[in-house]
Structure 1
């Protein structure tokens, strides 16, 4: 199923108001960790899967990447990305992540940020990414953490006074579709265990190089109210893998 909530006017307007949508990578709580998983991008050919507003595409060029292709299913997301981009070495293409068909060895680095938990058949996407990467090329991805996606509610358990008591985890090993409320809209996501994410990468021919589980920086904890709660459970899982 290829879901395109971002072209719905109300959903897109809500998304556009998020802090990370307005201020970019510096407002993304996981960026300070995801950034460390990226290889040296100088002179690299980069593919961004689910590029959204193009923040990672522009960052890659700031790091002197040779060329960048960003793909996204949403016409509205790509329109905003093009409005924010003046670099001719960045190309944006409208397509679903599931539909990519690039040449063998076309890219040195593939990046996907918070897009793959919307994909039902992830093994097919991993296989296509492996195909288009050069030998030794790097695939860096972030997804919503399995602890976060296990329950469709994706919310804290609250006390009588509205205090956050704990983050409940249930039905963890029951992989599959979850209907979650995001930005006041029902959104289809797919829950996978930690083992499933790792094993599907390995089966596709990747070697896991590094992993990280999101936690806010000290700076964000000091500046953003309530951010310290993000230390109580990881919201995002990040991995760097090499084409073996």
Structure 2
């Protein structure tokens, strides 16, 4: 996560053109499913890890959150978030997910959207999130699916004419660093198996409340390339709860 690619002007410019950057949660292909995992935010203290432009911070505030802390390593991301989410109830902090101090039992909900596959040690984050949640607190996150991250290139295997043949899956049980091309640049991510994600939550003391491999929103299937997203899972959505 400490590779701060979003500070690169060219990379950030391309990211800013993505539908999820322009249209917010409505432009995210997984939002129709991720939204169903969102807890009741009324009166809750919320922490957003890897908050980006602050879309989930805004959603929590709109649904009654008492306070929201958004954490992100990118100055450019947080500058945009501060422009978009103007409320005395929100605080944005520039730091990495790994280095945030995680005050004990300071939050009721921890949310993270497509950020934890940039973190090498998921077990460590599970412990930190567990400690910062009050009893009964909820942890809801999305990551790139292990089938999507396993091979590393994150691109379809094609024939000589460029036609899609299949999605490559190899080295699945070899966890760790992967180099992927995203928005035309090399980006470092960390592959983890499904077992690693789920078992670490359970070992830490959470109990699982939902595990979802979302299909694309049916309303988006006519967008270019979207039907191919039905051929393999791209994302994994999880919600877990700390016992009372």
TM (norm. structure 1) is: 0.97
Can you give the 5+ residue segments of structure 2 that lack an aligned partner in the other structure? none
| Equivalent in the alignment of 2:226 | 227
| Equivalent in the alignment of 1:152 | 152
| Equivalent in the alignment of 1:56 | 56
Cα deviation for residue 42 of structure 1 reads 1.0
| Equivalent in the alignment of 2:238 | 239
1:107 lines up with 2:80 in the alignment: no
Q: Structure 2 CA distance, aligned partners of 1:100 and 1:140?
A: 18
| Equivalent in the alignment of 2:21 | 21
Q: Structure 2 CA distance, aligned partners of 1:17 and 1:219?
A: 20
Cα deviation for residue 200 of structure 1 reads 1.2
Look up the SS of the partner of 2:123 in the other structure. helix
1:76 lines up with 2:76 in the alignment: yes
TM (norm. structure 2) is: 0.97
| Equivalent in the alignment of 2:123 | 123
Q: Deviations over 1:5-62 (max 9, x none)?
A: 1111111111111111111100100111111111111111110000000000000111
Q: Structure 2 CA distance, aligned partners of 1:217 and 1:105?
A: 35
Q: Is contact 1:100-1:128 (8 Å) kept?
A: no
Q: Structure 2 CA distance, aligned partners of 1:94 and 1:13?
A: 20
Can you give the 5+ residue segments of structure 1 that lack an aligned partner in the other structure? none
1:202 lines up with 2:209 in the alignment: no
Q: Structure 2 CA distance, aligned partners of 1:172 and 1:163?
A: 25
Q: Structure 2 CA distance, aligned partners of 1:88 and 1:164?
A: 49
Q: Is contact 1:57-1:70 (8 Å) kept?
A: yes
Q: Structure 2 CA distance, aligned partners of 1:165 and 1:103?
A: 48
Q: Is contact 1:142-1:238 (8 Å) kept?
A: yes
Q: Structure 1 CA distance, aligned partners of 2:131 and 2:160?
A: 53
Cα deviation for residue 175 of structure 1 reads 0.7
Cα deviation for residue 202 of structure 1 reads 1.3
| Equivalent in the alignment of 2:10 | 10
What root-mean-square deviation, in Å, do the aligned CA atoms of Structure 1 and Structure 2 show? 1.1
Cα deviation for residue 201 of structure 1 reads 1.1
Q: Deviations over 1:115-162 (max 9, x none)?
A: 000001121111111001011110001000000000111111113332
Cα deviation for residue 104 of structure 1 reads 1.6
Number of residue equivalences: 243
Q: Is contact 1:120-1:190 (8 Å) kept?
A: yes
| Equivalent in the alignment of 2:179 | 179
Look up the SS of the partner of 2:221 in the other structure. helix
